[in-house]
Amino acid sequence: MSGESSTADDGDPLAAVVARGRAETAADTLREEGVYDDDRSVRPFGEDAVALPVTAPPERTAVREVVRQEAEPRLRNLDDHLRERGWTAEERERAPSSWAVIGTVVLVDIGDAPRPDEVGEALLDLHANADTVLARHGIDGTQREPDVAVIAGAGDTETIHTEHGTRYALDLAEVMFSPGNKAERKRMGDVVAEGDRVFDMFAGVGYFTLPMARAGARVTAAEINPASFRYLLENAKLNDVHQRVDLYRADCRDVADGVEADRIVMGYYDAHEYLDAALSALEPGGIVHMHEATPESLVYDRPVDRLTAAAADRDRAVKILDRRKVKGYSEGVAHVVVDARVE
């Protein structure tokens, strides 16, 4: 960390300068230090950096420098920014209520909000570390391809997103990334033991493969989408786990015959359709993590019944270890996960 620099009075508040791509991670560590100032806004700093508001110079977070900035009250939320732009109360009611910052990209369900370009510009003002806003319209097809459109900013949809120490390089115009699965991605890194043999049947860019491999597991990962597989390869090297992963651009059913797994991850909403392949690869006493989009009225009965029936067809017994909701999938439908040991 370099010393303070300033053209403002010494009484002006402090800000820590970091590279734009590190802003999200640095803000988290500054909060852990107890020096992040939530009452002020993040502001651009030069062409490739941002100034994060702090109450004192950080001692543990690496920053380029600490500067003084003219005091500027924080517009705390999207509603504040849209009000500044002259939006009426009725218009603001139709604005998005949630969005996600993925690296340097803001991903938002725009709904029926008026003037999406103004929403995008307001989100860029709210998140100074971001440079592009994407409106998300859904995921298409078996290869889970995103339907998105640039509504503000530079239009650079490729970024690196950091989560609990795992780095994900991806292009949000080409591959899906679900912000709501953050806790589940962390959890999978926590539940594996070093040396576990894991089969990730729907690996994507490495959502679960990377945290598990970083925890010491040996992971066989299959991904059929060529764009996702390209980033899966890159991310294995980016996280220095390439020696602990075997990666296949293939249908997971074609990979399963050669796999002997202690643990299987089925991170796909229609995972039940692949249970035969999963159980053929799962060693006796192994654990399966089966995802499903389930109507609320059938949570958790349907996924448990499907898993139990598939195991019974192979004369195998199932012990349910855990059941949990990850997030809402659509109105009346939940994204759930069932963890089970299969003898």
Annotated binding site for S-adenosyl-L-methionine: 178, 185, 223
Asked if 292 contacts 333 with a C-beta cutoff of 8 angstroms, the reply is no
Distance CA 192, CA 14 (A): 42
74, containing H or E segment:
none
Asked if 5 contacts 55 with a C-beta cutoff of 8 angstroms, the reply is no
User: Could you tell me which residues are annotated as the binding site?
Assistant: 178, 185, 223
Distances from the Cα of 263 to the Cαs of 217, 223, 251, in angstroms? 10, 17, 18
Distance CA 274, CA 208 (A): 18
Residues written for the chain: 343
Q: Is the dihedral of CA 8, 11, 12, 17 positive or negative?
A: positive
Distance CA 176, CA 173 (A): 8
Positions of E strands within 87-195: 99-102, 105-108, 132-140, 145-153, 158-163, 166-171
